[in-house]
């Protein structure tokens, strides 16, 4: 009887504390800190890809920048990526506006995607600011599509 294959998991995040927590739960995951590293590895097939938006120790960065998680999403959407067709994408940023943009772009391109903030949470226990328009949209999408946690 064959043993189940370990899933191939890619984790983009710049925070060592979040990476340590993620790697403790997913010891075989590959951690990258930059857009360039992530895109290079996305040339290969993955079972799961976890994407943060705000990198380089910054928060709430412009989604048009070339050094944020949205840059990875733009790369994914530029042309068909058949080797990633069955990949599950998890947007784990706590930036609700960026999460909304990332999820919507990937959904439009037919990728399997969900938003699920990871790491430090607010005192309310929620990862995203559901008072913001994007947060409310993510919450609504999750209720109506079942794809966003």
Contact present, 10 and 51 (Cβ < 8 Å): no
pTM of this structure: 0.78
User: Measured between alpha carbons, how far is 104 from 77 in angstroms, rounded to an integer?
Assistant: 11
What is the spatial order of strands in the sheet that 30-32 belongs to?
Answer: 30-32, 9-12, 48-51, 88-91, 112-115
Q: What percent of the chain has pLDDT over 70?
A: 76
Give the rounded distance of the alpha carbon of 2 from its chain centre: 31
| 82-119: pLDDT as tens digits | 999 999 999 999 888 899 999 999 999 999 999 988 76
User: Measured between alpha carbons, how far is 79 from 81 in angstroms, rounded to an integer?
Assistant: 6
- Tell whether the model's pLDDT for residue 58 goes beyond 80: no
């Amino acid at each position: 009887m064959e043993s189940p294959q370990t899933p191939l998991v890619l984790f983009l995040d710049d925070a060592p504390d979040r990476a340590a927590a993620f790697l403790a739960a997913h010891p075989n995951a590959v951690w990258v800190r930059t857009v360039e590293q992530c895109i290079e590895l996305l040339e290969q097939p993955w079972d799961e890809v976890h994407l943060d938006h705000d990198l380089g120790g910054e928060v709430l960065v412009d989604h048009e920048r070339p050094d944020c998680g949205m840059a990875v999403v733009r790369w994914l959407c530029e042309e068909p990526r058949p080797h990633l067709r069955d990949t599950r994408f998890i947007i784990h940023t706590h930036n609700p506006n960026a999460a909304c943009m990332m999820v919507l772009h990937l959904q439009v391109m037919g990728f399997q995607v969900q938003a699920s903030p990871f790491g430090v949470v607010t005192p309310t226990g929620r990862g995203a600011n559901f008072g913001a328009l994007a947060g409310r949209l993510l919450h609504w999408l999750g209720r109506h599509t079942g794809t966003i946690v």
